[in-house]
Structure 1
Amino acid sequence: MTEIFTRIEPSRTADEVAQQIESLILEGVLRTGDQLPGERELARQFDVSRPILRDALKALEARGLLVTRHGGGTFIADIIGQVFSKPVIELISSHPKAIADYLEYRREIEGVAAEYAAQRATADDLALLDAIMARMDEAHQANDFEAEARVDVEFHHAVSECAHNIILLHTLRSCYRLLSEDVFQNRLMIFTLPGAREALLQQHHAIHAAIMAKDPEAARKAAMDHIDYIEEASTRAQRVGDWRRIAKMRRQQRSDARDTDKTGPET
């Protein structure tokens, strides 16, 4: 495992250890669910005593940034999920207007994120984006809708990381949590629309290409065009879903009526 923690000066205290871990969480290096190395290894990387390390971890746990599982290690807490509380998530999922507002918000903020990513992405950022794009292509070729949808979310996560803006990063992560938890049930329905998967793939390639070319204007436009398409496709997917539901009810109703005609009225 790559060592991401650096040596703490001998004169420093548990506060410096805690601050370094805090910074890694804030910068998105450590993410929800990531497990920290074991106590012995972590103390070695920080070059501090184990009592100092324990004090730092306890302080972070008390503040809700870490969780310790008995016999299972120490993990980064689910702090992102708290941005949208359960009651708010339930409200969003039950009100159609929330979908339009969600996409409107994403359109603007993802445009900015893509623009910044084109300006600021490092070689390591671009390598990660390349790898995710390759996996999206593989899922597309395999006709694996669910895998393609998962990589879709991962791609947008990566773009937000390439932007190197902490507020953008965590704001977008909270937005993408709604996708990961299937708050918007018609998300996968979009993939069933004729030509939609191909269009979405091309849009992701356009965002990817603009960031790789370091073209902020093109990156912003590609990201915003992508959300415009999703908004239109979401409306279309909802209508198609309604058509299918109604057609199924009509067919069932007519089938029941024919069965009644054959058997005659009940006595």
Structure 2
Amino acid sequence: MFTRISHVRTADAVVEQVEALILRGILRPGDRLPAERDLVTQVDVSRPILREALKTLEDRGLLVSRPGGGTYVADLIGSVFSEPLVALVARHPAAIEDYLEFRSDVEALAAGRAAERATAADRALLSRIVEAMAAALETDDHATDARLDVEFHQAIGEAAHNMILLHTLRACYRLLETGVYFSQQRLFGHPGARVALLEQHRAILERILARDAVGARQAAVAHIDFVRSALAEAARDSARDAVSSLRLDRRLAGLPTPRRSRTRQDHRPARSSDPGA
């Protein structure tokens, strides 16, 4: 990942290399940098120069150091909105429609760009993620499926090779991971949804591999249309279940308690103790 600093071995050159790795999405928030003794060898600079570069990156908010725990890429995305606004949105689920509309537009753009620009490495990564999705479906691993869903769309953003689009998508999926707009588990729990979602991801992948930008955009829009429809149906089902449960509780409370049915022995006449009877 890191390369030797040639010619001018200065802290600025190290800073520029690390910033480029972060900006291009190669280093992600939470990624740990190699230990200092390894990193000085990889970039071929002295320890004082490396330490100066890391200090600069920390001052810029790009890296964070944990005492005794190493140096990590900072959480550059954070919350897209202020906490009060996020809480406000969470109290008004109608915002989900705007969220899905935004995702439809931006994911279509990303898929089209990925079809045009994806490298062999990008295509290999996307294919591997879809294979892992299929394995998670077979083992009924919902948690892994949800994680891979986000990973797949992030990888498409990376394959689009547009740095602004990449970080916009990461911010978008941060909201998805927090469950502000909707629960992935509710979506995956909808009958047939996981199978359908896998097929849609495969369709997007196939269009990207075929370098079909128009087809990739259409497949991405169809995917979000399905998500919108499945979530609406899941919400209706949930509302119906809630009403039915309330109705059942109310009805049962007004019904008499069923009597215990008599057994065959209960129906047999009692034997007389008189031998002459």
Say which of 201, 210, 215 aligns to 1:213: 210
| 1:156 maps onto 2:124 in alignment | no
Greater mean alpha carbon deviation, residues 126-135 or residues 241-250: 241-250
Secondary structure of the corresponding residue to residue 81 of structure 1: coil
Greater mean alpha carbon deviation, residues 96-105 or residues 84-93: 84-93
Shift of 1:143: 1.9
Change (3 A) 1:260 1:57: farther
Could you say what the CA RMSD is over the residues aligned between the two structures, in angstroms? 1.8
CA radius of gyration, larger in: 2
Say which of 226, 229, 243 aligns to 2:226: 229
Q: Deviations over 1:210-243 (max 9, x none)?
A: 1111111110100011011111111111111111
| 1:245 maps onto 2:222 in alignment | no
Aligned residue in 1 for 2:26: 29
Gaps of 5+ in 2: 260-277
Q: Say which structure is richer in helix.
A: 1
Greater mean alpha carbon deviation, residues 124-133 or residues 233-242: 233-242
Indicate the percent of aligned positions where both proteins have the same amino acid: 53
Shift of 1:92: 2.5
Query: Residues of 2 paired with 1:85 and 1:259: CA distance?
Result: 54
Greater mean alpha carbon deviation, residues 237-246 or residues 131-140: 237-246
Q: Deviations over 1:23-42 (max 9, x none)?
A: 10000000010000011111
Query: Residues of 2 paired with 1:112 and 1:16: CA distance?
Result: 34
| 1:95 maps onto 2:95 in alignment | no
Query: Residues of 1 paired with 2:112 and 2:137: CA distance?
Result: 26
Say which of 136, 142, 158 aligns to 1:145: 142
Which amino acid counterpart does residue 4 of structure 2 have in structure 1?
R
TM-score (norm 1): 0.91
Query: Residues of 1 paired with 2:183 and 2:257: CA distance?
Result: 36
| 1:198 maps onto 2:195 in alignment | yes
Shift of 1:61: 0.8
Secondary structure of the corresponding residue to residue 55 of structure 2: helix
Shift of 1:96: 1.6
Change (3 A) 1:50 1:189: same
Aligned residue in 2 for 1:68: 65
Shift of 1:11: 2.8
Greater mean alpha carbon deviation, residues 137-146 or residues 66-75: 137-146
TM-score (norm 2): 0.88
| 1:54 maps onto 2:47 in alignment | no
Secondary structure of the corresponding residue to residue 75 of structure 1: strand
Query: Residues of 1 paired with 2:231 and 2:191: CA distance?
Result: 13
Which amino acid counterpart does residue 10 of structure 2 have in structure 1?
T
Secondary structure of the corresponding residue to residue 184 of structure 1: coil
Secondary structure of the corresponding residue to residue 78 of structure 2: helix
Secondary structure of the corresponding residue to residue 67 of structure 1: strand
